[in-house]
């Protein structure tokens, strides 16, 4: 059933779908649905460039709440889904989308926003036709490496069994708990404890990330934030615009969501430009595109992906982590080297013998929060851990460092770290992390290597002065080298001029 059909209300009694009691806010409306209804369908009349939403009805021909209505609760783990796009209520049957309504982001803004004359920018008109978050590997193609294929096949039955167990635990512990913006601080604390103990069921992940981080409230309080920002300012210009354009084209090129046939590239572009407008002090880094793309695959919603990115950059990681000079990332390198030396001396010795510095893992692993490091399923559980480990206000998370230490310990305990040169060690790390499907074991190890936020803050303060001096020394050396190169070029030009004069 597609929703650009007629101007009359469409009754969907023949669909026999179970209504999900979750809701999400998209571009134009917030849909809240009660668990007793059978169907929720948005009906849109095509009146030109601006679709008009008419009514929401259930199969019992009773209107379903449209607006800021009942708060979503967990009735059953598999009944919760955040299937709301840009002003679109997407019906589900057995966790599969069966219909799609489209609404322009620009046309779904409040009336007072429509009066403005914005700079143009491409808008996304609908959610993806495919629910990528429900597919194995988020819809990524099957791996080609025989070792990864074998590891995935061997672990599949175990992972499926653990997922069923996880769902049962959540059904027993969290039935009736309010989610998203309606979750109280006490409820969020309880949910974090359950998530740390059991992990997050796959069908709850998108909703739980927003709930655990408190970003659901931000989405609710700042409706249409990305759309308003881009309508007012358009896309950024200059070097950031060039970098975004280049990165979008090389972000997950093998994934259908980011192909010309789907909306992923448009949504990714919007989120990255909105992020640059939100925080001009952030220096755009190549890892941004992978972070945003990964969130969009899970959420398929620009506003929600944007606010989770804001949470990562402004609340989890240091403020200067992605600054223009990358001072925070350099400090994190020093902190990681200290922690590995202190907690994993054998691993530190292997890195020294290979001539490889531990700090390379900050750029390779941490700046992209392990996207493209682990298998997709493991990366999802790692992000669960990162969002569960949200510290108290004013503190920064140590989760990324705990996961890094746990990964090194896991590989070392299994005797999987190569003892060759730097190149061999890097290949060994890349090869074995790609086969790491035991996410539960990895997370348990991370929990056992707890770093207190206060301790991490102190370590960063201790490491920062030395890092600043090193960066100044490198900059001075770079300036001296540049001056020498310019002087050498001038001498060369002068010599050529003298030679030419003598020839005359």
pLDDT in tens, the chain (504 residues): 433 333 333 333 333 333 233 333 333 333 333 232 333 333 232 333 333 332 223 333 333 333 333 456 666 555 543 333 332 233 333 333 333 222 333 334 444 444 344 445 666 546 788 899 999 999 999 999 999 999 999 999 999 999 999 999 999 988 888 888 888 999 999 999 999 999 999 999 999 999 999 999 999 999 889 999 999 999 998 889 999 999 999 999 999 999 887 889 999 999 999 999 998 878 888 899 999 999 999 999 999 999 999 999 999 998 889 888 889 999 999 999 999 999 999 999 999 999 999 999 999 999 999 999 999 999 999 999 999 987 777 789 999 999 999 999 999 998 888 778 899 999 999 999 999 999 999 999 999 999 999 999 999 999 999 999 999 998 889 898 888 889 888 888 888 888 887 776
Distance of CA 439 to the CA centre of its chain: 18
CATH 1.10.8 domain range(s) in the chain: 137-316
Tell the burial category of 68 from Cβ atoms under 10 Å away from its Cβ (0-12, 13-18, 19+): middle
Contact (CB, 8 A) for 201 and 181: no
Give domain 327-458's CATH architecture.
Orthogonal Bundle (1.10)
CATH 1.10.472.80 domain range(s) in the chain: 327-458
With left for phi above 0 and alpha for psi between -120 and 50, is residue 230 left, alpha or beta? alpha
d(CA 504, CA 494) in angstroms, rounded, equals 15
Contact (CB, 8 A) for 280 and 238: no
- What is the pTM (predicted TM-score) of this model? 0.76
Contact (CB, 8 A) for 457 and 395: yes
- Show Cβ contacts of residue 328 under 8 Å, excluding neighbours closer than 6 positions: 317, 318, 319, 320, 321, 322
Q: What's 137-316's CATH class? A: mainly alpha
3-class DSSP state for residue 96? strand
What is each CA distance from 493 to 393, 481, 489, 498, 503, in whole angstroms? 60, 18, 6, 9, 15
d(CA 440, CA 502) in angstroms, rounded, equals 78
Q: Which two tokens stand for residue 497?
A: 């001029």
Alpha helices by DSSP H, listed for 355-452, are 360-361, 376-388, 399-413, 422-433, 439-448
């Amino acid at each position: 059933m597609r929703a650009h059909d007629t101007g009359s209300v469409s009754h969907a009694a023949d669909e026999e779908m179970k209504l999900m009691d979750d809701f999400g806010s998209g571009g134009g409306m917030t849909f809240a649905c009660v668990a007793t209804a059978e169907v929720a369908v948005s009906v849109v009349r095509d009146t030109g460039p601006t679709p008009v939403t008419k009514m929401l009805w259930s199969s019992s021909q009773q209107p379903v709440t449209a607006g800021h209505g009942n708060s979503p609760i967990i009735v059953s783990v598999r009944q919760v889904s955040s299937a709301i796009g840009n002003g679109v209520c997407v019906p589900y049957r057995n966790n599969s989308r069966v219909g799609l309504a489209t609404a322009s982001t620009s046309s779904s803004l409040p009336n007072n926003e429509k009066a403005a004359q914005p700079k143009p920018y491409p808008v996304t008109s609908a959610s993806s036709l495919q629910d990528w978050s429900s597919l194995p590997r988020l819809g990524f193609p099957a791996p080609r490496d025989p070792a990864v294929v074998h590891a995935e096949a061997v672990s599949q039955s175990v992972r499926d069994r653990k997922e069923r167990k996880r769902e049962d635990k959540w059904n027993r512990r969290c039935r009736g708990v309010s989610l998203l913006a309606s979750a109280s601080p006490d409820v969020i604390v309880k949910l974090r404890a359950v998530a740390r103990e059991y992990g997050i069921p796959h069908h709850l992940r998108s909703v739980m990330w927003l709930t655990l981080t408190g970003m659901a409230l931000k989405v609710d309080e700042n409706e249409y934030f990305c759309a308003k920002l881009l309508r007012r300012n358009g896309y950024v210009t200059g070097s950031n615009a060039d970098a975004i354009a280049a990165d979008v084209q090389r972000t997950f090129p093998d994934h259908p969501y980011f192909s010309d046939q789907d909306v992923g590239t448009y949504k990714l572009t919007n989120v990255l430009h909105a992020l640059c407008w939100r925080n001009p002090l952030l220096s755009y880094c190549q890892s941004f595109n992978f972070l945003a793309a990964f969130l969009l695959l899970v959420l398929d919603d620009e506003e929600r992906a944007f606010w989770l990115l804001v949470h990562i950059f402004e609340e989890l990681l240091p403020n200067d982590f992605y600054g223009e000079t990358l001072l925070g990332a350099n400090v994190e390198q020093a902190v990681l080297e200290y922690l590995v030396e202190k907690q994993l001396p054998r691993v530190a010795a292997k890195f020294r013998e290979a001539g490889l510095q531990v700090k390379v893992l900050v750029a390779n692993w941490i700046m992209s929060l392990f996207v493209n490091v682990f298998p997709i399923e493991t990366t999802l559980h790692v992000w669960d851990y990162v969002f569960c480990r949200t510290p108290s206000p004013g503190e920064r998370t140590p989760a990324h460092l705990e996961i890094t230490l746990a990964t090194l310990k896991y590989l070392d305990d299994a005797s999987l770290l190569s003892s060759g040169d730097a190149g061999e060690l890097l290949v060994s790390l890349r090869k074995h992390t790609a086969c790491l499907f035991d996410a539960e074991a990895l997370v348990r190890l991370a929990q056992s290597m707890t770093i207190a936020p206060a301790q991490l803050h102190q370590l960063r303060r201790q490491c920062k002065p030395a890092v600043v001096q090193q960066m100044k020394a490198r900059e001075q050396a770079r300036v001296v080298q540049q001056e020498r190169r310019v002087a050498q070029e001038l001498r060369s030009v002068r010599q050529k001029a003298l030679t030419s004069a003598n020839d005359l």
